[in-house]
Amino acid sequence: MASTLVRIKRIYAPVAEGDGYRILVDRLWPRGVSKVAARIDLWMRDIAPSTALRQWFNHDPAKWEEFCERYRTELREQQPLLDTVRQQAKEGPVTLVYSARDERFNQAVVLQLVLKQSTTGKRRAT
């Protein structure tokens, strides 16, 4: 079976042909970016962290571990959306697009890891 390729990228970075299928994984549309310029194939609002979790985290690295745990819990309720991303990744490259300034501490990092773990046989029962 071909390996699943899921990348992450800030929406403010230039669009590249290698991005493949671009999925926005933010609950809110990013500021200052037109829908045409973003070239988003799918906007998955519901796969993003809940508003309450996003506001609590506020991109504070000190809260990162707890954020990851809480977000993974939320993602357990989003299996159909995760399956959609997995299926798309079987067809070609997928880029999870996010707007956060911090490239290390954001939901796309967690989401990418969850998807990678589930394709390597480490999927946990929900």
53-91: per-residue pLDDT in tens?
999 999 999 999 999 999 999 999 999 999 999 999 999
Mean pLDDT of 12-31: 96
What is the predicted pLDDT for the residue at 5?
84
- Nearest-angstrom CA–CA distance, 41 and 53: 25
Query: In the structure, what pLDDT confidence band is assigned to residue 124 with cuts at 50, 70 and 90?
Result: very low
| pTM, two decimal places | 0.89
CA atoms within 13 A on the CB side of 111: 31
CB-based burial, 39-53: b 16+ in 10 Å, e otherwise = ebebbbeebbbeeeb
Query: In the structure, what pLDDT confidence band is assigned to residue 120 with cuts at 50, 70 and 90?
Result: low
Mean pLDDT of 3-22: 91
In the chain, the percentage of residues whose pLDDT exceeds 90 is: 87
Query: In the structure, what pLDDT confidence band is assigned to residue 121 with cuts at 50, 70 and 90?
Result: low
Structure tokens at 8: 């992450």
What is the predicted pLDDT for the residue at 4?
60
What is the predicted pLDDT for the residue at 28?
95
